[in-house]
Amino acid sequence: MARSALLNVMTQAAMKAGRSLIRDFGEVQNLQVSMKGPADFVSNADRKAEEVVFQELSRARPEWGFLMEERGAVEGNDPQHRWIVDPLDGTTNFLHGIPIFAVSIALERDGQIVAGVVFNPAQDELYTAERGGGAFLNDRRIRVAARQKLPESLFGTGIPFLGKPEHGRFLYELRQIMGESSGVRRMGAAALDLCYVAAGRLDGFWERDIMPWDIAAGSIILREAGGFLTGIDGERFDHMQGEIACGNELIHKTLLSELAKAEAAYRRIVAGAGK
């Protein structure tokens, strides 16, 4: 596939950061780890990968700003463009020696995501997309799966952990989906979950309380692969709103319907408990 100059810059930054992560992944037991919050770890590997991405993208487009997991917001002189970066999506997997993690880079233009790159260096898988140009895995065009029936479909999700809200609500959602589908998987890296839906490995995905750098790049890869995505209540998708539900057109609609049933059941229980 022919990539634009911008997508080449993003790809090179992601792959260079990925090489840095792989070097540290081989010595994961020796990493210096600090606590960033409950069950939310950040390592030297994370910081080094973010620095690589920051330097590479700043060199290419010095006027553009950033939204990064570790640095936060970095204002640029060009208000139209911003890079949204997660240098290590799947930090907990990484620190436990599980090879499901990724570098995620998205380009936001006037508030809309127009390009995305997600790179899993442990499996040498590079997902890329630009608006209107299709989605690719290692230069091979990808599309969402064509499955139409819930019992045949496999879903991904994010499970709230220590320090996260909505544990009770999630259990209702999980019970509803696992009772109607062929299974639910929790990979631990939302950027890759969205790419797996784009590539037809998963049929759908949902998660609440999620950060923009976790889903920005994956969202355009999924769209360009023919996927549909909204908020969990069916509202228009916004990478800044903190939730997502997605799949092919029919599975996405069915997923929203099942999640609405779970929400209704949860609210009945909460209302009953309050009496």
Alpha helix segments (H runs only) across the chain = 5-25, 44-60, 91-95, 167-178, 190-198, 212-224, 249-273
Higher local confidence (pLDDT), 23 or 275: 23
Q: What is the pLDDT of residue 38?
A: 47
Residue 63's CB is within 10 A of a number of other CB atoms, namely 11
Q: Which two tokens stand for residue 62?
A: 């010095």
Q: What is the pLDDT of residue 275?
A: 60
Asked if residue 56 belongs to a known ligand binding site, the reply is: no
Q: Say what the pLDDT of residue 164 is.
A: 79
Q: Where in the chain is the domain with CATH 3.30.540.10?
A: 5-141
Q: Is 193 annotated as belonging to a binding site? A: no
The pLDDT value given to residue 29: 59
Q: What is the pLDDT of residues 66-104, one digit of tens each?
A: 999 888 999 999 999 999 999 999 998 998 889 999 999
Share of the chain above pLDDT 90, in %: 83
> DSSP 3-state assignment of 57?
helix
Tokens of 142: 């990808």
Q: Is 69 annotated as a binding residue?
A: yes
Give the model's pLDDT for residue 270: 87
17 has a pLDDT exceeding 90:
yes
3-class SS of residue 150: helix
- The 10s digit of each residue's pLDDT in 188-242 is 999 999 999 999 999 999 999 999 999 999 999 999 999 999 999 999 999 999 9
Domain with CATH 3.40.190.80 in the chain: 150-273
Q: What is the pLDDT of residue 168?
A: 92
Contacts of 36-42 with CB under 8 Å at 24 or more apart are 37/163, 38/161, 38/162, 38/163, 39/92, 39/161, 39/162, 39/163, 40/91, 40/92, 40/163, 41/91, 41/92, 41/95, 42/70, 42/91
According to the model, what pLDDT value does residue 162 have?
Answer: 85
The pLDDT tens digits of the residues spanning 25-72 come to 887 756 656 656 544 556 788 999 999 999 999 999 999 999 998 889
pLDDT for the residue numbered 33: 65
Residue closest to 56 by CA, chosen among 21, 16, 24, 20 = 16
Domain 150-273 has CATH 3.40.190.80: yes
End-to-end CA distance of the chain: 61
> Is 88 marked as binding a ligand?
yes
Contact present, 221 and 246 (Cβ < 8 Å): no
- Give me the count of residues in the chain: 275
66-70 LR contacts (CB < 8 Å, sep 24+): 67/108, 67/212, 67/213, 68/213, 69/211, 69/213, 70/42, 70/46
pTM flag (> 0.85): yes
Helices (H) and strands (E) in the chain, counts: 7, 15
Q: 214 a known binding residue?
A: yes
d(CA 44, CA 32): 6
The helix (H) or strand (E) run that includes residue 40 is: strand 40-43
Residue 201 identity (one-letter amino acid): R
**What sections of 66-185 are H helices per DSSP?**
91-95, 167-178
pLDDT in tens, 115-128: 999 999 999 999 99
CATH 3.40.50.300 is the classification of domain 5-141:
no
Alpha-carbon gap, residue 265 to 129, rounded angstroms: 38
